[in-house]
Amino acid sequence: MDFSEEGLELKEIQRLEGHNDKVWSLAWNPTSTLLASCSGDKTVRIWQRSPSTSSWHCKAVLEETHTRTVRSCAWSPSGKLLATASFDATTAIWELIGDDFECVSTLEGHENEVKSVSWNASGSLLATCSRDKSVWIWEVQPGNEFECVSVLQGHTQDVKMVQWHPIMDVLFSCSYDNTVKIWAEDGDSDDWHCVQTLGESNNGHTSTVWALSFNPEGDKMVTCSDDLTVKIWDTDSITMQAGEGYAPWKHLCTLSGYHDRTIFSAHWSREGIIATGAADDAIRFFVESKDGLVDGPLYKLMLKKEQAHDMDINSVQWSSGENRLLASASDDGTIKIWELASIT
C-alpha cells in the first residue's frame, strides 16, 4: 500500500479520562471492541464503545487487587482473559464472568516489579518479565491454572517487555541492558533457551530498549529505545514459513534523527504503518519508502502529531478491529482515541 499519495491527518476522536495517575499501557481486545488500560493508580480500566452513540465509556474498573502500579496488560487471543502485570511483583488473570471482571488467578514468583506480559498466538502460553532480570514462561492449564515451565536468565538488567512472535512459539524480550533476546524451545527437550541476542555488535541499540512489535507477516520487527532511534529487523521468511525451525534476525535499518526524547512504544499496524509514542508528547507514523532510490531510505516519516498529549506518551496501540483507529496512553492520566483519516 502506498501511503505517500494520500494526505492523511490524525484526528482526535475522544479523550478518555478516569485514571488518577500515569497510564502506562493499553490493550485492545482481539474479538470485541473493548480497550483495557492500566495505570500508576493501581487499577485497570475497561473501556467500551456504545453502539448507539459511538462514544467510549468506562465499563469497569478493576481495583483492589494490585497493590502497586499496574504496568502492562494483555488479552488472551480468545479475548476471554486479561492478564495484568504489576510493580507488586504479581501477574493477575481476569475473566469476564457475567457483567463483571473477576480475578481468577494470581501468578507469583518474580522477585520484584513485573514489567510486561504477553500471550502466544494460540493462547497456550503466557510470558512475563521483571526488573529481577528474568523472563518466565507459564503454561495455561484447564481451570485457569498456570504452571511455570521455564525461568529464563540471560539479560543482565531489568527486562522491559516480552512479546511472542505472531505465528511461531518464539519469545522476544527487550531490556535496560540495551539488548533484544530471542528465546525458543529445543526441539526434543522442551527446554527454553536464548537462541539469539541483538546487541550493539549486531547494529543494535545503545541504550534501554523499551518496546518491540512485529509486522503482520511476522518477518519484520520494529524496536524503539532510549537511544532515540527506532530500528527495523528482518528474518528469512522462507525458512520461517517452511517451519524449518528458527531463522536468525538481522538489522535492516535504523531511523534516527526523528525523535529527540526516549521512544517508549512502537506498534506495527495490519496495513504496515508503524506508530511510535515518545517522551516528547508526540505520535509519529513511519511507512516503507517506495522511492526506489538505490541508497535511499527504506522507511520514511509519514506523519507527526505534536502535542498529542500534555505529557510523555507511554503506549500507542492500533485497534485490532478497525484499520485506522489508534489509542494512546500518557503520563497525563488520559487515553486518546484517534483516527488516521484522509484530509477532507
Partner 1 sequence: MTLGLINANPVVHAKKERVARTEDLHGDDAVDPLEIYDILFLLHPEHPYSLEQLSVLSEESITVDEKLGRILITFTPTIQHCSMATVIGLCLRVKLKHYFPPHFKVDIKVSPGSHANEESVNKQLNDKERVAAALENPNLRQLVDECLYSNEL
Residues making contact with partner 1 (CB under 8 A) = 22, 40, 68-69, 71, 87, 112-113, 115, 131, 158, 160, 176, 207-208, 226, 261, 279-281, 307, 310-312, 331-332
Q: How many CB atoms lie within 10 A of CB 285?
A: 21
Q: How many whole angstroms separate alpha carbon 30 and alpha carbon 77? A: 6
Closest CB 232 distance from partner 1, rounded Å: 24
Question: How far, in Å, are 44, 90, 156, 262, 278 from residue 314 at the CA level?
Answer: 15, 21, 24, 10, 7
Q: How many whole angstroms separate alpha carbon 95 and alpha carbon 49? A: 19
For partner 1, the closer of residues 76 and 175 by Cβ is 175
For partner 1, the closer of residues 71 and 220 by Cβ is 71
For partner 1, the closer of residues 19 and 115 by Cβ is 115
For partner 1, the closer of residues 40 and 204 by Cβ is 40
Q: How many whole angstroms separate alpha carbon 216 and alpha carbon 201? A: 27
Are 13 and 337 within 8 A, CB to CB? yes
Q: In terms of Cα–Cα distance, which of 336, 344, 343, 342 is closest to 12? A: 336
Question: How far, in Å, are 38, 51, 55, 239 from residue 334 at the CA level?
Answer: 11, 22, 16, 43
Closest CB 17 distance from partner 1, rounded Å: 15
Closest CB 311 distance from partner 1, rounded Å: 5
For partner 1, the closer of residues 69 and 90 by Cβ is 69
For partner 1, the closer of residues 219 and 281 by Cβ is 281
Closest CB 147 distance from partner 1, rounded Å: 27
Closest CB 32 distance from partner 1, rounded Å: 30
Name the DSSP letter for residue 201. G
Which helix (H) or strand (E) segment holds residue 241: the answer is: helix 237-241
The C-alpha cell 516503507 sits at 288
Closest CB 209 distance from partner 1, rounded Å: 12
